[in-house]
Amino acid sequence: MAEQKDRWSTNAYQHSASFVPKLATKVVSWLDLQKDDVLLDIGCGDGILNAEFAKILSQGNGSMHGIDSSVSMIGAAQELCKDHRNSTFQVLDATQLVSKPGLQKGIFNKAFSNAAMHWILRPEDTRTQFFNGVYASLAPGGIFAFEMGGLGNVSEMRAAILSAVARRVGMEKALEADPWFFPDETWITSALEAAGFKIERVEREWRPTPTDKGGVEGWVRLMGSQLLDAITDEKEREEATQECSNVLKEVASIVKPIMRARNWKVRQLAEFYPEQHNLLGLNVNRGAKICLRLRHAGDRNQFMPIENIVDTMLHELSHIVHGPHDAKFHALWDQLRDEHEGLVLKGYTGEGFLSKGRRLGGSRIPPLEARRLAREAAENRRSRPGTGLGKRLGGSAPRPGEDIRRVIADAAERRSNILKGCGTDNLTEAQIQNISDTATRNGFRTQAEEDEANNAAIAQALWELVQEDKSVKYGSSYIPPTADNPTGNGGGSIAGI
């Protein structure tokens, strides 16, 4: 059997997946480990749980043997449990249990596995021998308690990685490199019974999990490394890694000037992929969390156009001030859309882009310099051939010969879809909270305090240029939005009319 690459690093695991042993409370209670038990831990990992098991077993005559295919993980487990003589560890691919006679004599009265079998069961041709191997390791009446990813697990992140990889090597190769198998209750029950097990309980549950210190990118790099390695070019592989975590950040970046003017804060922005195909966005507790659909309901591998997502984001931001979809709500939504399009026309594409490579000795950009850079960006955009009106929320500017009625109808249809796709009028508070919780693992914080100072300064300068245009358009009647008055006066009377 060819030697496999050890993809696991204990440091990376603690940085991006330390939540794994912390979430094992239920399956550990099902195991119900006693001091005289003889335990086989399948896919033991870095030994965090084993150290706790060893304390229980040391109170009696119990013992534990942990196996894992990763040399680095076994080394970490051995180090963590070195003071417990009742604990042994072995580098072993769990699908090869049947090839180890010493582990096939029914010497264990309990077997355990946490967050490992969705990796172990990926090769279809070794699934049967895996379950047979576990069954043969147990004494008559022995217990096998395990937890693994089930159908729908990390679906959004899996789709993001598959999509990013498939765009570079094709979907067939991406699926071949997919390292996971997430079955439902029916499949796992049948597989266990075929090996001789009698099922006492099996369940599948949603378990929303916030990202670790490494964030979404750290999770992608660690858990998705096998899939990403299907991309042989190192530069393209890094681009794919970044792509998986950039869409939400781009949306947040685009709307920051609009939020900052009103002192709006969204603590968490998250992707969700709800069962309701028309559901596009949720605002939980007036901006405590906003959930956005990033992918088409019929195809998880395809991202929706960024302007559609931004429009939904502006819609959900409007709910910070107004709950129901009444006239005041629509007026504010229209105002946010107008402000966004004003920024686009000035060359704004999101913080983190305009000031790249333009730092001034590492210090903050002076206001006058920020305005100069902002004006330069706006002028550069206007002078670019074919720039036109940019990606407006109502769609691109009509092309020569295009039916303007069709353009207007398309814009109206999208507005209607966003209204229908907002959970505010269509879901109960309990439903909103439940859907929101399932999206938490794909979120990240968006506080304005996290803004890089120079990017924020240039964005603010662009915002001021937009406000200058508004003042020229509406004259002295124009009142800009503020934290105390987020709608301003919604414009004013057109100057000169």
Task: Please give the radius of gyration of the chain, using alpha carbons only, rounded to the nearest integer.
Answer: 28
Give the active site residue among 316, 339, 341, 351.
316
Write the DSSP string, 186-206. HHHHHHHHHHT---S------
In order of 24, 51, 222, 426, the CA distances from 6 in angstroms are 24, 23, 11, 48
Amino acid code (one letter) for 487: T
Q: Is 243 a catalytic residue?
A: no
In sequence order, what are the beta bridge partners of 269?
Answer: 290, 444
In sequence order, the 6+-apart residues with CB closer than 8 A to the CB of 51 are 80, 81, 84
- The token pair that represents 48 in the structure block: 């965090």
Question: What are phi and psi for residue 339, nearest 5 degrees?
Answer: -65, -40
- Shortest CA distance to 282 belongs to which of 402, 440, 397, 401? 440
| CA dist., res. 332 & res. 338, Å (int) | 10
Q: How far does Cα 115 stand from its chain's mean position?
A: 19
Could you count the other beta carbons within 10 Å of the beta carbon of residue 317? 23
CA-to-CA separations, 316 to 78, 306, 362, in angstroms, rounded? 50, 15, 36
Q: Indicate the burial class of 179 (C-beta count within 10 angstroms; 0-12, 13-18, 19 or more).
A: middle
Are 94 and 69 in contact by the 8 Å Cβ rule? The answer is yes
Are the beta carbons of 365 and 457 closer than 8 angstroms? yes
Compute the distance between CA of residue 72 and CA of residue 225 in angstroms, rounded to an integer. Answer: 16
Which contacts of 485-494 are long-range, i.e. CB under 8 A and separated by 24 or more positions?
486/262, 486/264, 486/320, 486/321, 486/332, 487/321, 487/328, 487/331, 487/332, 487/335, 488/335, 490/331, 490/332, 490/335, 491/335
List active site positions: 316
